[in-house]
Structure 1
Amino acid sequence: MLTTCRSGLLLVVVSVLVALLPAAPALADYASRPVRATWVPNAAVYAVAVQGDSVYLGGDFTSLRDARTGETVARARVARISLSTGELDRGWAANVNNTVRSMAVAGDGTKVFAGGSFTSVNGQARGRVVALTTGSGALAAGWNASANDTVRSVVVHRGMVYLGGFFTSISGVSRQRAAAVSEANGALSGFDPRADSAVWAITPSVDGDTMMLGGRFTTLRGVARGFLGSVDAASGAVTSWAPPRACTSTSQPCFVLDLVARDDSVYAAVAGPGGRVTAFSASTGAIRWQRTGDGDVQSVAVDDRLVYAGGHFGPGYGGATRYNLAAVAQTNGALDPDFAPVVSNLYPGVWDLVATPSHLVAGGGFTDIGGTGQSRIALLPVIADTTERVLARGSTWRYSTTAPPAGWAASGFDDSGWASGATEIGYGDGDEATDVPRVFTLYARRAFTITSAGAVTGATLRLLRDDGAVVYLNGTEVVRSNMPAGDVTPTTAASTTVADAAESTYYSFALPTGLLREGTNLLAVEVHQQSVSSSDLSLDAEVVVTR
């Protein structure tokens, strides 16, 4: 991943691949602070790679200190700690003579690859890329490749090690800022995208056949591509995927600093005015949504439903208070209300993120997170799962654009003649999953199932509405959001117009657990505009219960 100061004068890049990880957790259950302070590097962590319980760190540090005892142990720019405990692995070490910018674990788990600006490892010449054994940190026998300038990103994919950076040759052969070498021995492959400027991020597409490249380049193989493009994974030939730039600023260009692909989206950490996470369609390249802050987003990671953003932003991100770490919905970029770590030092902030089933791992230049005193590396644990999402965002609802008869919100109402579609349902913003005609009021219904309803101790509705909404649970009104008091008719206007960040905000409301039923329940929502001239309308919702 990469960080830039807001003037754009300083560019520091770190790229990461996490190998051999099981699927990340389905819910946003990471705590906003580590359990306790453990081992603390004495300088920045630029790179994190995870294999099982092992967390590999790369950066500028020359030692780690036990925050509990004060003991200091020398470690020259790479180290390994335990994911579960944070303890330093005293049996794994290597001596690297300059900065490590990126790390990735081999597919078979026997090697860890590091890239950076170093020229010597364990006393032997190594030109900015190296393979170390995962057993001890020794140089991997029979593996050798070198770059003539800094390597900023390292990705392992299908038996190859993909490299991005500032270099113009690999092992003496011309390769303009992107290349691939054999995972087995470092031999150069034919992969040759020929970027005209730095490549800062590389990630494989979901099907694995292409590689997404991000950075500062404007052409790949002479074909115009504005900081982001896609190339064939074997040859480096440019594909037809041609997304637009995330912004049009020329004084603060929206360089792409990190990338991750999931399902039919490519999520980019972007510099430029305010910094942002941008979601691109993996099939068409169109921008699906953007969520901006007040400083660069330098790293991204994903789980089953959220995009985690790290950078040097704060106190503002996505219309709320966030310091250097935030989470947004993959569907529309809405800020997650529960994940709000306070990370010190707005610059340089967080430079790397890895989402695992047990922890969110954050590396960077910060000196504290959540008041724990943990510096430069943080392991944010999954919160014990006492919640269940019984209605998910993006679910398919029944809806009507005409006023329904009385009783429409009751669970026994027959909505089989209504249209159906996934949320967001609406029009006018361009991020809707289901477009509807321009209407003043939209009516929608969705059934969901609860088991062991008697054990539910709390229920929360998170509602995205533009402009206002009235919500019913099993036929009883439970929420009015941005709506006036009194009787509500199809022509009742919302209280205020919704704009900017509020259009993608999920507002939280406690639901009365006494209304919940064993088995099938029914949530009904009517969304009202503030004015007949309103340009957009939106609806999405989720329900989470606690036991």
Structure 2
Amino acid sequence: MTRRVLALLLLPLLVLPPAAPPPATAAEGTVVGNAAPSWQTNGIVWALAHARGVIYLGGDFTAVRPPGAAPGVGEVPRRHIAAFDASTGALLGFDHVMNGSVRSLQPSPDGTRMYAGGEFTTVDGASRRGIAAFDLPGGALDPDFRPAADGRVGAIAVAGDTVYLGGLFTAVDGRARSRLAAVSAEGRLLAWSPAADGSVRAMTLTPDGSRVVVGGGFGTVNGVGKRAIASLDAGTGALHRWDGEPLPDCAQVSALITDGDTVYGAAEGTGGGCFDGSFAADPMTGIERWRDLCLGATQSLAVIRGVVYKGSHAHQCRYADGGFPDVKATRKGSSWHLLGLRASDGAMTSWVPNTNGRPLGPRVMATDGSQLFVGGDFTTVNREPQQGFARFEAAPDRTVPSTPGTPVATSVQAGRVTVTWRASTDLDDGTLAYRIYRDDGAAPVAEVTGFSRPWLRPVLSFDDVG
């Protein structure tokens, strides 16, 4: 029997019924992997916060520019703080002049005020040392909120009329406060005064509001050994239990968030044996529910609909469920800067868009409940120019799978042809389907599904016995 020669066309697509329309959302329930059009910044974005349909940005930038615009083109002055429409990414009129970096942003629970912390000493020419408040939705600087910190305010948490502050300061309003303090919504310094011996970089409240979980580069809190993370009474500042796995002395906690059930933390460090990953913990005990051991510092976290998004420069996640080996040898030192983990167990999802790093990439994340906002020092997203800020929507999914490997047809048995090809990959879906066409046929002779990720591209096959 003469062996048939097949003309093959392999088309990767999502696993759908043959007559189904194109996908509207990512198959695993993540936000989509393609970034939506958004304005950009000309410098690092250190802080993000969402309130009333607006995403607020703080950082080292001095100007913003339209989507797709090259550096220096179409720039509009925005000195360390800006606001974009959360749904469109368009620039809004919120415009203030800060004379130094903004490192933290946090809205009040009712969305009527935005607190900004950082290294500035004036706002619009008025004295504001490290902390300021803006009334929403109008955006005016609050003239009466004027507590003064003598160093960086790098973390803010708000509960009712109490504003908790963390950072590098040693005094507020001239009174000793060792990197932790609280003020009222009117700006009055409160008695809450736990003491940390190193920087406080992150804060979040437990779901019941009774405790403030703080993270940073400290080794003791209130004179007690508490490496990088501690739980404090929201009223008194006294220590509560936090029984998570100990962190090494080289580690710092860089981000803390909660979804109302769990506290999620991010860590970074330098040197062998350090912890660079993320973790999930019981908010009242600190007992960990999972920990990812990826290497490459984690800078930021956000949680949306059961997925924890992390911004990092992860280069090795071999111990994570669904993770990858060290990419330094295979990707010339590059890293996966954006990853999605299942909130339930920390397993890796197939959400794998990427940024570059200048030098680290993503520095902060925020959400409006459906979209993911990312800020940092990157200048590209998915290899396309986009500086400082990116926005990932819940839909539509416009990601396009990569081209599959060249199909190879072989036959070692009369009447049977085996077709093999290297799997494609996609930015937000792991299970793809491939339609196989014979010769110039209009209809596929088969559809084969296979699972893949950028670091896992198996060889797939189909036996044609028709």
- The alignment's TM-score, normalised by the length of structure 2, stands at 0.72
Report SS of the residue matched to 2:239: coil
Shift of 1:154: 1.3
- Is 1:73–2:76 an aligned residue pair? yes
Structure-1 separation of matches of 2:356 and 2:315: 10
Shift of 1:286: 2.9
Structure-1 separation of matches of 2:160 and 2:211: 11
Does the CA-based 8 Å contact 2:242-2:287 persist in structure 1? no
Structure-2 separation of matches of 1:297 and 1:363: 14
Q: Which amino acid aligns with 1:71?
A: G
- Is 1:357–2:369 an aligned residue pair? yes
Match of 2:46 in 1: 46
Match of 1:275 in 2: 276
Residue segments in structure 1 that go unaligned for 5+ positions in a row:
1-24, 386-457, 462-478, 482-501, 510-547
Report SS of the residue matched to 2:182: strand
What is the RMSD of the two structures over their aligned residues, measured on CA atoms?
Answer: 3.1
Match of 2:5 in 1: none
Give per-residue Cα distances to partners, 1:51-101, cap 9 Å, x unaligned: 122111100010111245632111110011111111101x21000001110
Does the CA-based 8 Å contact 2:116-2:132 persist in structure 1? yes
Does the CA-based 8 Å contact 1:163-1:180 persist in structure 2? yes
Shift of 1:285: 2.6
Structure-2 separation of matches of 1:336 and 1:223: 38
Structure-2 separation of matches of 1:459 and 1:186: 50
Q: Which amino acid aligns with 2:121?
A: T
**Identity in percent:** 32
Shift of 1:145: 0.7
- Is 1:84–2:96 an aligned residue pair? no
- Detail structure 1 runs of 4+ shifted over 6 Å in the superposition: 458-461
Give per-residue Cα distances to partners, 1:435-461, cap 9 Å, x unaligned: xxxxxxxxxxxxxxxxxxxxxxx9979
Match of 2:218 in 1: 217
Does the CA-based 8 Å contact 1:29-1:383 persist in structure 2? no
Does the CA-based 8 Å contact 2:267-2:275 persist in structure 1? no
Q: Which amino acid aligns with 1:255?
A: Q
1:256 to 253, 256, 265: 253
Shift of 1:379: 0.6
Structure-2 separation of matches of 1:290 and 1:459: 23
In the superposition, relative to structure 1, how do residues 221 and 323 fare at CA in structure 2: closer, same or farther (>3 Å)?
Answer: same
Structure-2 separation of matches of 1:459 and 1:370: 17
- Is 1:296–2:293 an aligned residue pair? no
Structure-2 separation of matches of 1:369 and 1:306: 20
2:142 to 140, 162, 175: 140
Structure-1 separation of matches of 2:55 and 2:29: 21
Residue segments in structure 2 that go unaligned for 5+ positions in a row:
1-25, 328-334, 398-428, 433-448, 461-466
Structure-2 separation of matches of 1:314 and 1:373: 22
Match of 2:414 in 1: none
Match of 1:106 in 2: 108
- Is 1:333–2:350 an aligned residue pair? no
In the superposition, relative to structure 1, how do residues 165 and 480 fare at CA in structure 2: closer, same or farther (>3 Å)?
Answer: closer
Q: Which amino acid aligns with 1:324?
A: H
Match of 2:390 in 1: 378
In the superposition, relative to structure 1, how do residues 194 and 374 fare at CA in structure 2: closer, same or farther (>3 Å)?
Answer: same
Structure with the bigger RCO (C-alpha within 8 Å, sep 6+) is: 2
Q: Which amino acid aligns with 1:43?
A: G
Structure-2 separation of matches of 1:304 and 1:26: 13
Structure-2 separation of matches of 1:175 and 1:133: 26
Give per-residue Cα distances to partners, 1:125-175, cap 9 Å, x unaligned: 111111123345432122111101111111222221111001111111211
Structure-2 separation of matches of 1:220 and 1:39: 41
- The alignment's TM-score, normalised by the length of structure 1, stands at 0.62
Report SS of the residue matched to 2:314: coil
Q: Which amino acid aligns with 1:31?
A: V
In the superposition, relative to structure 1, how do residues 367 and 305 fare at CA in structure 2: closer, same or farther (>3 Å)?
Answer: same
Shift of 1:355: 2.6
Shift of 1:207: 1.4
Report SS of the residue matched to 1:255: strand
Does the CA-based 8 Å contact 2:135-2:141 persist in structure 1? yes
Does the CA-based 8 Å contact 2:148-2:173 persist in structure 1? yes
Report SS of the residue matched to 1:312: strand
Does the CA-based 8 Å contact 1:312-1:347 persist in structure 2? no
In the superposition, relative to structure 1, how do residues 221 and 63 fare at CA in structure 2: closer, same or farther (>3 Å)?
Answer: same
Does the CA-based 8 Å contact 1:312-1:346 persist in structure 2? no
Give per-residue Cα distances to partners, 1:365-399, cap 9 Å, x unaligned: 000111331211001111249xxxxxxxxxxxxxx
Shift of 1:218: 1.8
Report SS of the residue matched to 1:191: coil
In the superposition, relative to structure 1, how do residues 26 and 147 fare at CA in structure 2: closer, same or farther (>3 Å)?
Answer: farther
- Is 1:235–2:236 an aligned residue pair? yes
Does the CA-based 8 Å contact 2:241-2:285 persist in structure 1? no
Does the CA-based 8 Å contact 1:190-1:234 persist in structure 2? no
Structure-1 separation of matches of 2:151 and 2:342: 37
Shift of 1:326: 0.6
In the superposition, relative to structure 1, how do residues 349 and 316 fare at CA in structure 2: closer, same or farther (>3 Å)?
Answer: farther
Report SS of the residue matched to 2:251: coil
In the superposition, relative to structure 1, how do residues 344 and 279 fare at CA in structure 2: closer, same or farther (>3 Å)?
Answer: same
In the superposition, relative to structure 1, how do residues 358 and 220 fare at CA in structure 2: closer, same or farther (>3 Å)?
Answer: same
In the superposition, relative to structure 1, how do residues 161 and 27 fare at CA in structure 2: closer, same or farther (>3 Å)?
Answer: farther
Say how many residue pairs are matched: 366
